[in-house]
């Protein structure tokens, strides 16, 4: 998720804090995903991990295992979403945000969700089940 979009969502959402990794002093733009996940998993309460890197879920077993073991709820913005012009990303993210907050807040165990290019939020399952893919 672009830094500007994260900051807009943080301004928009008065109940939750949205922090981009570039605004988190523990992380850098080139920090490996497994390290980001490990760092966030140590927080209490656990944050929701929001990313545009769907490869964590689909492609890289070590990242999928790290997420499955982390106890984090995760939101993936689809690759098609990331390829949209920024102004379209903003509109779609804002439209989906309240549903995302509700879905992530209502899940009884850490879960993974995907936001499609159309702004639709889909539950992918529990994060603990990701390792079984």
125: number of Cβ within 10 Å: 13
Q: 0.85 cut: is pTM over it?
A: yes
Tens of pLDDT, residues 44-67: 999 999 988 888 878 888 888 999
Q: Which of 57, 49, 100, 89 is nearest to 73 (CA)?
A: 49
Q: Per-residue pLDDT for the chain (133 aa), expressed as one digit of tens each?
A: 788 999 999 999 999 999 998 899 998 888 899 999 999 999 999 999 998 888 887 888 888 899 999 999 999 998 888 889 999 999 999 999 999 999 999 999 999 999 988 888 999 999 988 776 5
Q: What backbone phi and psi angles, to 5 degrees, belong to 76?
A: -105, 125
pLDDT at 132: 65
Q: Are 75 and 50 contacting, i.e. CB atoms less than 8 angstroms apart? A: yes
pLDDT for 78: 86
Q: pLDDT digits over 27-37, tens only? A: 888 889 999 99
Where along the chain do its domains lie? 3-132
């Amino acid at each position: 998720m672009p830094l500007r979009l994260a900051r807009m969502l943080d301004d928009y959402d008065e109940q939750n804090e949205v922090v981009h990794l570039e605004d988190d002093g523990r992380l850098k733009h080139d920090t490996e995903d497994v390290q980001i996940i490990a760092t966030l998993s140590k927080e209490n309460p656990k944050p929701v991990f929001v990313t545009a890197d769907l490869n964590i879920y689909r492609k890289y077993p070590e990242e999928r295992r790290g997420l499955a073991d982390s106890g984090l709820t995760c939101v993936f913005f689809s690759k098609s979403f990331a390829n949209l012009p920024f102004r379209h990303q903003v509109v779609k993210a804002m439209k989906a945000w309240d549903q995302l907050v509700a879905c992530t807040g209502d899940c009884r165990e850490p879960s993974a969700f995907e936001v499609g290019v159309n702004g639709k939020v889909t539950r992918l399952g529990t994060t603990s089940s990701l390792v079984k893919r």
